[in-house]
A and B are shown apart, each in its own frame.
Chain A
Amino acid sequence: MATATKARAKGKSERIEARATAHEAAVIARAAELSNSTVSSFVVGAAVAKAETVVARAGHTLMPAEQFNAMIAALDDATPIDEIVALAKRPRRITRR
């Protein structure tokens, strides 16, 4: 109860459950111990790191074949788009650093 209250106080309101073999659980417990972490925060930390990589790499887009073929037929198209030219000609409020 005390732990649950403490966890919620840190904004950790969600609960995730997972099943593991005895061996997997032992390896995780050992690794958590080695990194001075609880099993719970070790598992969540590792999963979040992995999840962020996956999300960032959700990294690819699928384009319908017909649209894709039309797109690559003129991949070097250098026709300026008027709206972008106009945008780039506007007085600038932003400086790149």
Chain B
Amino acid sequence: MSAREPEFLTELLGPTHELDAFDSGEAETDEWLRGHALRTQQQGSARTRILRSPDSQRILGFYAVAPHDTHREDLPGSAAGGLTTVPGYLLAQLAVDRSLQGQGVGAELLLDAMETIVIAAEAAGGRLMVVDALRGEVLAFYERFGFIRIGTTLRLYMKISRIRAALEAAGR
């Protein structure tokens, strides 16, 4: 009868979380979490949600979301008519601890980030989810879920309306 204990939970980063043991295998990402995530959140420029076990404060994964505009890149001198900016959110970071890599936790954390962004868009607007792929294999990860590469950059986007539709179709 009793509901099974969840394996993991996500919540907003706070001062009780243990940052030091986190190891994604990417030094820059780990450094961002340790040195910048909390301050960036206090400044209000991005929010970080962390993944942990219900019985531990040790961080096992995290992602950061910030408001983000996408602008049409008009060539100098061209007539810039119509809509030229679309508001949305940037998934600025997404990482899972090495101990959990290769088990689909990253994809599930991406889904959690999509839910966060859909909730934010319902409450405050926003049409696009933009993500950064710093390496080639990360690009493939996002493309697998339907993200579209922006120009020839390592940035991809997805319409929030399509994410919402997918979540609804899955009955969430």
> Which one, A67, A74, A77, A89, contacts B151 given CB within 8 A?
A67
The answer to the question of B51 belonging to the interface, with a C-beta cut-off of 8 Å to chain A, is: yes
CB closest residue in chain B, given A84: B166
Interface 1/0 per residue, B28-72 and A, CB below 8 Å: 000000001001100101100001000000000000001111111
Collect the chain A residues with CB atoms within 8 Å of residue B40's CB: 52, 56
A87 to B107, CA, bound (A): 8
CB closest residue in chain A, given B32: A55
Query: Would you call B127 and A75 a contact (CB within 8 A)?
Result: yes
In chain B, positions 151-172 with a C-beta closer than 8 Å to chain A are 151, 153, 155, 157-159, 161-172
A53 to B39, CA, bound (A): 10
The answer to the question of A96 belonging to the interface, with a C-beta cut-off of 8 Å to chain B, is: yes
Chain A contact patch, size range: 35 or more
Interface 1/0 per residue, A65-97 and B, CB below 8 Å: 101110110111111110111111110111111
Query: Would you call B9 and A97 a contact (CB within 8 A)?
Result: yes
Chain B at the A interface: SS class: mixed
Query: Would you call A93 and B105 a contact (CB within 8 A)?
Result: yes
On chain B, the number of residues with a Cβ less than 8 Å from chain A's Cβ atoms is 64
A85 to B107, CA, bound (A): 12
Query: Would you call B73 and A95 a contact (CB within 8 A)?
Result: no
Collect the chain B residues with CB atoms within 8 Å of residue A65's CB: 72-75, 78
Q: A61-B69, A61-B130 are in contact. Are A96 and B112 (CB under 8 A)?
A: yes
Query: Would you call A84 and B112 a contact (CB within 8 A)?
Result: no
In chain A, positions 22-81 with a C-beta closer than 8 Å to chain B are 49, 52-53, 56-57, 59-65, 67-69, 71-72, 74-81
Most chain B CB neighbours (cut-off 10 Å) among A69, A78, A88:
A88
Collect the chain B residues with CB atoms within 8 Å of residue A80's CB: 162, 165-166, 168-169
Query: Would you call B70 and A81 a contact (CB within 8 A)?
Result: no
List chain B positions with a Cβ less than 8 A from chain A.
Answer: 6-11, 36, 39-40, 43, 45-46, 51, 66-75, 78, 82-84, 86, 90, 92, 104-105, 107-112, 114-115, 127, 130, 144-146, 150-151, 153, 155, 157-159, 161-172
List chain A positions with a Cβ less than 8 A from chain B.
Answer: 49, 52-53, 56-57, 59-65, 67-69, 71-72, 74-81, 83-90, 92-97
A-B contact sample (9 more), CB < 8 A, given A85-B170, A88-B111: A56-B45, A56-B92, A62-B151, A67-B151, A68-B70, A68-B72, A78-B164, A81-B146, A84-B163
